[in-house]
Structure 1
Amino acid sequence: MTTLMIQGTTSDAGKTLVVAALCRWLARRGVGVAPFKPQNMALNSAVSEDGGEVGRSTALQALAAGVPLHSDMNPVLLKPQTDRGAQVILRGRVHGNMDALDYHAFKATAREAVRDAWTALSARHEVVIAEGAGSPAEINLRANDIANMGFAELADCPVILVADIDRGGVFAQIVGTLEVLPPQEQARIQGFVINRFRGDPALLQSGLDWLVQRTGKPVLGVLPYLHGLMLDAEDAVASGGEHQAGALKVTVPLLPRMSNHNDFDPLRLHPGVALRFAEMGRPWPAADLVILPGSKATRADLAFLREQGWHREIERHLRYGGKVLGLCGGFQMLGERIEDPRGLEGDPGGDDGLGWLALRTTLVPGKQLRNVSGTLLPDGVPIHGYEIHNGVSEGPALDRPLLRLDGRDDGALSDDDRIRGTYLHGLFDDPGATDALLRWAGLTGTSAAIDYDAHRQHDLNRLADAIDQHLDTDALLALLNLT
């Protein structure tokens, strides 16, 4: 077995996509490879095949590797609930809620989970490509680190450092990162990858030569900026891309603890949809369809929505014939009441919902984690996705379900069918279901939804092609003991 770790000079340097690219590149060569992220902090998550919860970016990398997603691939997942606290997921299961100081003390236990998960994963795969978090240069987080060099030391593995030239200062990023690392950690870094380069590589060569001379370490390659690339993001939220004139206008409130915003990626790619996020302090965008997203702190996000006055905007939208769809936490907000007696997502207590569906939700221990498939009932088309939620909803609105999933009903429709809600994430991944939902929302014309699963595969192959074309593949194979 061999482990190689990809670390970055900054957050969003491109670690996730480089790991995905390497996983697809190795899989295409017939190498048994798996991704690994020892610690992740993100609100975008997925359900593994062993019934655990892991970061969405790791799910993308497992897809790139062509292997089943397993909770061993992301043993520590932190899901922020406040600015100072998060839910801790340990090897796929909820361990509890902790503030930052408590978690710092917990890292010794987390380290054991990381070691055990990596050991188990390494026993099942020929190569493990590990992804760091943030940057190893974060001095305040170095004690008991398990996310970057702490894991590299544990696994005794080489490291490649990725830097993003698109944000500027790439040589300072690399040299500055090395400068704050102790000598033994500097020695682990076997080379650099410069990411998201636009222009003629010849113009960069003098800088690359200086970097090699200054650090004594090789530049393993320069990856180009891949225009039009859209894959599951770990955290960053982007609005829609190009769309046709007269496109269906979809508005999503940008909530502080919005989760699984990758639900909207197929809509961002749809040429007949103009997707916009409503942002604090800005005018409410005109809409044909409003989608209330999932949330890691549903009551707090509902209070935020009300503080912005967005509930009145949505009420006006409904009065003028608009449609509303709630996903997971957004579905719970549509009901009459949300109770959290044990304080699973914040302080114990309850709040009135928006009152547009006759249902009440109670948050209870025992998170529902499952991959599901079934039928969108109003149209009879197949659908698949996944569930990640604590809430149990009850009420007469559920007598008019939206979906039939694995032999049970899910979601609800209002009597006039202008409001719909569901616990299903990935609602728009099936093109047939997306077409049906957008017709309900008012989309006309012939533009069809994309096959998002096929889109993912296409873009993953673009990433692997970039490895072949722009990196020193002989050096990569040597680092992986595959020569």
Structure 2
Amino acid sequence: MVAVMIQGTGSNVGKSMLVAGLCRVATRLGLSVAPFKPQNMSNNAAVTADGGEIGRAQALQARACGLEPHTDMNPVLLKPETDRGAQVILQGSAIGRAEARDYQGLKPRLLGGVLDSFARLSAAHDLVIVEGAGSPAEVNLRPRDIANMGFARAAGVPVVLAGDIDRGGVIAQIVGTQAVIDAGDAAMIRGFLVNKFRGDPRLFDDGYRMIEARTGWRGFGVVPWFADAHRLPAEDAVDLRASGGTGLHVVCLTLSRIANFDDLDPLAAEPGLRLTMLAPGQAIPGDAGLVIVPGTKSTLGDLAFLRAQGWDIDLAAHHRRGGHVLGICGGYQMLGRMIDDPSGADGVAGQVAGLGLLDVTTVMAPDKRLTRVTGTALGQPVSGYEIHMGRTDGPDCARPFAHVPDPDGAISADGRVTGSYLHGLFSDDAFRAAFLARLGAASRPGFEAGVDAALDDLADHLEAHLDVAALLAVAR
């Protein structure tokens, strides 16, 4: 087993991007590399070749390695449904829901699955680069931990600790981590790196030496801010970003449980569009040409959330003004006349009126559809994936949005409201161009090539500023 684990001093310190870049670096060195994250919490999921789901960040890391995503790369995925509860995915399949307190009792079972997945990856590849979750300094969570030191100790994987200087206090972040974790955990850490530095890194030389002196850990380098990070899919909803383009104004409703929001990345990259991620409490702008109701982990919960913002009234007014509406997955379900959840698969059992912009009805069911699909839409090739519960039928389904190869989605009689279960649809250049042309906007090709170019640029960036050879040698 040859592996190294990148843990962070906190959430959002850049662990996912660091692992993606290191995966591309090691792959370019000729190694067979795989990413691994024992436990992830995200509603941004990818469908794998083996018919399961993992965090979207691990799918990007797999791409950096030149691999198809596999459920072993992220054996435990938590998909938040409420502030206190989440759906639990083990090795690609849902095993139930758990409240935060109840989840602790599941961890012994989950650790077995985590170690099994890690063993299979380790046997199949020269190197596994592991990403932690949150921070090992959350010592109140250390008992039964499977995401950070609990995994590192159980699997015998050495750790490199990443700190985020952009948020300030990086010396305290790294030195403080050593101060609060126990000696056995601290012994797993072989060194540290400092991420997201803005300005001249030499100005931090004294601070860098101070961390080395106080911890006894060696430093692997200071990574300047990677300006092209926006070209890579964001993992967390907190990273959702608008675009500064001009032309057609596209507005996406930022739902409370927004999911698979990387659907929007190709639109954010279009210079001929202005993408707005509409925050709660804000009205839908009158100049919006297209409003997107995105995917969600909780269709009924976010339908209530949408109404609480007054967006149902705004959407009706937008449609009356001649505007276009696109609903994706859960957003598609909301656009219909009714959502029927007889078994409480999405929450409380019962029927709820939809927004009524499409003449369709959705019936929820416990079974989840997880599949990759290819086909055509608007006369162009389209590919993507489905990840949803429920089935939608009704008169507007007679005008399907796509054939993948079965009919998918629905289009209103006036042609201005569209719903689809297809995620990832805008990644296909030809389809995206055809879709935007109907709205009077031009498109720039090359989105997928741009993601790969960004991964190469990220790898170059890390090689220029880290002692990559020494860091990867930690794995041996």
Give the alignment's TM-score, normalised by structure 1. 0.96
The answer as to 2:275 corresponding to 1:280 is no
Pairwise CA RMSD = 1.2
Aligned residue identity for 1:242: G
In the alignment, residue 280 of structure 1 is paired with which amino acid? Answer: P
Contact 2:75 2:92 (8 Å CA) reproduced: yes
1:115, 1:404 → 2: CA distance? 40
Verify: 1:457 aligned to 2:452, yes or no: yes
**Partner Cα separation in structure 2 for residue 44 and residue 186 of structure 1:** 32
CA contact 1:37–1:131 (8 Å) conserved in 2: yes
Q: In structure 2, what is the Cα distance between the partners aligned to 1:350 and 1:155? A: 47
**Equivalent position amino acid for 1:18 in 2:** L
Runs of 4+ with >3 A deviation: none
Quote how far apart the aligned CAs of 1:251 are: 0.8
> Which letter does structure 2 place at the counterpart of 1:255?
L
- Aligned residue in 2 for 1:410: 408
Q: 2: CA distance between counterparts of 1:449 and 1:360?
A: 36
Give the corresponding residue for 2:386: 387
CA distance in 2, matches of 1:322, 1:86: 35
Count of matched residue pairs: 473
Q: Verify the 8 A CA contact 1:266 1:449 in the aligned structure 2.
A: no
Q: Which amino acid aligns with 1:391?
A: G
Corresponding residue of 2:433: 435
Residue 333 of structure 2 aligns to a residue in which SS? helix
Give CA deviations for 1:39-95 in whole Å, capped at 9, x if unaligned: 000000000110111000000000001111100110100000001110001100010
List runs of 5+ in structure 2 lacking aligned partners.
none
**Which one is further off, 345-354 or 152-161?**
345-354
1:241 CA displacement: 2.7
Following superposition, the deviation at residue 350 of structure 1 comes to: 2.0
Per the TM alignment, residue 20 of structure 1 is displaced from its structure 2 partner at its CA by 0.4
State the percentage of identical aligned residues.
50
Q: Secondary structure at the match of 2:256?
A: coil
Does the CA-based 8 Å contact 1:276-1:285 persist in structure 2? no
Match for 2:208: what amino acid? L
The Cα of 1:473 is off from its aligned counterpart by 2.3
Secondary structure of 1:241's match? coil
**Shift of the alpha carbon at 1:120?**
1.3
Q: Does 1:107 align with 2:107?
A: yes
Amino acid at match of 1:80: P
Distance 2:436 2:279 in 1: 23
Please tell me the residue identity of whatever aligns with 2:354. Answer: G
Task: Provide the C-alpha distance between the structure 2 equivalents of 1:304 and 1:414, rounded to a whole number of angstroms.
Answer: 24
Q: Which residue is 1:471 aligned to?
A: 466
Take 2:198 and 2:39, find their aligned partners in 1: how far apart are those partners?
31
Deviation digits for residues 227-271 of structure 1, max 9, x if unmatched? 132212221332323313xx1101111111110111111111111
Deviates more, 1:469-478 or 1:30-39: 469-478
Aligned to 2:347, the other structure's residue is in SS state coil
Task: Report how far residue 178 of structure 1 moved.
Answer: 1.2
Report if aligned partners of 1:3, 1:480 keep a CA contact under 8 Å in 2.
yes
Residues in 2 aligned to 1:312 and 1:136: alpha-carbon distance in whole angstroms: 45
Once the 2 structures are TM-superposed, how far is the Cα of residue 462 of structure 1 from its aligned partner? 1.1
Whether contact under 8 Å (1:278, 1:285) holds in the other structure is no
1:101: how far off?
Answer: 1.3
Q: Is the contact made by 1:240 and 1:269 (CA closer than 8 Å) also made in structure 2?
A: no
Q: How does 1:177-192 map to 2 (within 5 A)?
A: 177-192=177-192
Point out where structure 1 has 5 or more consecutive residues left out of the alignment. none
Q: Tell me which residue corresponds to 1:257.
A: 257
Counterpart for residue 400 of structure 1: 399
Is the 1:13–1:195 Cα contact (8 Å) retained in structure 2? yes
Partner of 2:314: 313
Matched, 1:97 2:97: yes
Letter aligned with residue 474 of structure 1 = A
Question: Matched residues in 2 for 1:128 and 1:324: separation?
Answer: 43
Amino acid at match of 2:151: F
Name the counterpart of 1:11: 11
What are the Cα deviations for residues 350-375 of structure 1, in whole angstroms up to 9, with x where unaligned?
21111111111111122111111111
Mapped contact 1:223–1:470 kept (Cα < 8 A): yes
Contact 1:288 1:442 in 2 (8 A): no
User: 2:327 matched to which residue of 1?
Assistant: 326
Specify the code of the residue in structure 2 equivalent to 1:316: A
Name the residue aligned to 2:417. Answer: 419
CA distance in 2 between partners of 1:59 and 1:438 (Å): 27
2:283–2:311 contact (8 Å) kept in structure 1? no
1:153-172 equivalence runs, <5 A: 153-172=153-172
CA distance 1:237–1:337, shift in 2 (3 Å) = farther
* Aligned twin of 1:232: 233
Give the Å deviation of 1:312.
Answer: 0.6
**Which amino acid in structure 2 is aligned with residue 475 of structure 1?**
A
Question: What secondary structure does 2:229 align onto?
Answer: coil
The yes-or-no answer on 1:448 pairing with 2:443 is: yes
Alignment partner of 1:98: what SS?
strand
Paired amino acid for 2:453 = H
**C-alpha separation in 1, matches of 2:390 and 2:411:** 18
Give the TM-score, by structure 2 length. Answer: 0.97
| Partner Cα separation in structure 2 for residue 160 and residue 477 of structure 1 | 10
1:342 aligns with 2:343: yes
Q: Distance in 2 between matches of 1:419 and 1:50?
A: 34
Q: Is the 8 A contact 1:369 1:386 kept in 2?
A: yes
Following TM superposition, by how much is the alpha carbon of 1:213 offset from its aligned partner in structure 2, in angstroms? 1.0
1:81 and 1:346 in contact (8 A); partners too: no
Q: Which amino acid in structure 2 is aligned with residue 403 of structure 1?
A: A
Letter in 2 for 1:469: A
